[in-house]
Amino acid sequence: MRIYQKLLSGNFSNEFDSIIDSQEKAFCKRLVLTALRKHQFLRSAINNYTSKSLPQKLSFSHLCIFLGATEILFFSTPEYAAVNSYVAFAKKDNKFSGGFVNAILRKICQNKDTIKQQQNIFFPKSFRQLLQKDYTKTQIDNIESACTQEPPLDITVKNNAEEWAKKLEGQLMPNGSIRLFSAGNIPDILGYEQGQWWVQDFSSSLAIQSLNNIKDKKVLELCAAPGGKTAQLTNEGAKVTSVEISPARIKTMQQNLQRLNFEPEKIICEDAIAFLQTDSSVYDIITIDAPCSATGTLRRHPEIVHTRTTKDIAQNQTIQKNMLETAASHVADGGTLLYSVCSLSKAEGEEQIRFFLKNHQNFKILPITFSKLSKKSQDELKILTTEEGFIRCLPYHFAQFGGIDGFFVAQLQKEIL
């Protein structure tokens, strides 16, 4: 209940990690994420059975009703067990609210079939408005319906992707990622403990895959944790210096890299801009996986639709602009600046890069073609590249495989003087 309340009010919660029992953790995660994905749907359904319309800020007993209704409508929990346990929760908080919770949940049980037939709304009006600047109504409808489903798990393997896809009974994606549809507890999956693969969303893996000739290149990776791209770069033989601001996320990254038996040249815990201001080196490649509004990750973080505002986008834009600006002078002549964000907002992606290029005429776009992948893969991935030469992934791309995260990548080359 606490995690649900925190996420819904826009606060970060990592409390799932404090649940020791893996089955209990998986259940809690699925319950809270389903309730968040179905929040608008549940609000409209529950409103039919309350005497007053639900307020914007929900009370504890309302939250008990939302979670109880989620279990009744979308889980196999027996109805009586769901009703009894959420009535007991509500009573613990306030002994008078048990009756209210009981009455509404019973009505939900009685009308279960009718409720399930109602239209599934995921995006609140405010989130639709946020997307309207960049996308048509049809595109927003498609993004919404692609994000209502529980996402599969994507992994990147060190090598032999085809073989691993067979072993794990997964779907081999056009870029070599392996997609698992019913993964269960991650550490229990074959090859995890042996460090043969790491968890990395399909879209996110495309940024490093778009780079050619990485072997032995001097790479500076800014905003590195939890290390998915560090792992890719190291796996391809680059000499990587990784910079990340968060000590907690550095710790996770080090654990991940240790399991994979990868050793980047350096891992530095510092603000990227502060690091660049005191660093006198130039690099063959600088990657910036910039902090952003993360609206591309809606499938995994459904709370985002209730919490992101244009103010968040504007704040991130300023940080991204400063990182690009500061990194530019550290790219060697003829070198590459790779910029990526997991945002749907073009202000953080396409527009950010157009603005950068206007002020840095010594950089030009290197159109992304995935030339190091097979011809078949290149053809299949074409749908993700834009006329300008960027990667723009949208959640409804590859819907036949369960969709992908929203993501943006630009590759820029510095001219040789």
Taking CB under 6 A as the criterion, which residues in 32-91 touch ligand SAM?
none
Taking CB under 6 A as the criterion, which residues in 246-305 touch ligand SAM?
246, 249, 271-272, 289, 291
The gap from C-alpha 338 to its chain's centroid, in whole angstroms, comes to 19
Closest residue by beta carbon to ligand SAM: 223
Pairing of strands 218-222, 283-289: parallel
Query: Nearer to ligand SAM by C-beta: 84 or 246?
Result: 246
Q: How far is the CB of 103 from ligand SAM (least distance, A)?
A: 45
Q: How far is the CB of 228 from ligand SAM (least distance, A)?
A: 3
Q: How far is the CB of 187 from ligand SAM (least distance, A)?
A: 18
Per-position DSSP letters for 234-265, written without gaps between them: HHTT-EEEEEES-HHHHHHHHHHHHHHT---S
Q: How far is the CB of 107 from ligand SAM (least distance, A)?
A: 43
Judged by DSSP in three states, 219 sits in strand
Exposed e or buried b per residue across 127-145, where buried means at least 16 C-beta atoms within 10 angstroms of its C-beta: bbebbeeebeeeebebbbe
Per-position DSSP letters for 194-209, written without gaps between them: TT-EEE--HHHHHHHH
Query: Nearer to ligand SAM by C-beta: 98 or 302?
Result: 302
Q: How far is the CB of 292 from ligand SAM (least distance, A)?
A: 7
Q: Taking a C-beta distance cutoff of 8 angstroms, is the pair 87, 63 a contact?
A: no
Does residue number 349 form part of the binding site for ligand SAM (CB under 6 A)?
no
Q: How far is the CB of 191 from ligand SAM (least distance, A)?
A: 19
Contact pick of 227, 296, 395, 403 for ligand SAM (by CB under 6 A):
227
| Environment class of 159 (CB within 10 Å of its CB; exposed 0-12, middle 13-18, buried 19+) | exposed
Strand partners, 407: 393
Q: How far is the CB of 246 from ligand SAM (least distance, A)?
A: 4
Sign of CA dihedral 280, 281, 282, 283: negative
Pairing of strands 239-244, 266-269: parallel
- For residue 82, give the H/E element and its range: helix 79-93
Locate 244 and state its tokens.
């990340």
Q: How far is the CB of 65 from ligand SAM (least distance, A)?
A: 35
Query: Nearer to ligand SAM by C-beta: 284 or 289?
Result: 289
Instruction: Compute the distance between CA of residue 32 and CA of residue 304 in angstroms, rounded to an integer.
Output: 13
Contact pick of 151, 170, 228, 264 for ligand SAM (by CB under 6 A):
228
- Which residue stretch of 60-68, 223-231, 365-373, 397-405 sits at the interface with ligand SAM (rule: CB under 6 A)? 223-231
- Which residue stretch of 132-140, 186-194, 245-253, 299-307 sits at the interface with ligand SAM (rule: CB under 6 A)? 245-253
Contact pick of 140, 161, 224, 260 for ligand SAM (by CB under 6 A):
224
Closest CA to 231 of 204, 213, 270: 204
Closest CA to 42 of 105, 128, 134: 105
Instruction: Compute the distance between CA of residue 334 and CA of residue 316 in angstroms, rounded to an integer.
Output: 28
Query: Nearer to ligand SAM by C-beta: 163 or 265?
Result: 265
Query: Nearer to ligand SAM by C-beta: 58 or 267?
Result: 267
Binding-site residue total for ligand SAM (CB under 6 A)?
A: 18
Residues that bind ligand SAM (CB under 6 A): 204, 223-229, 243-246, 249, 271-272, 289, 291, 342
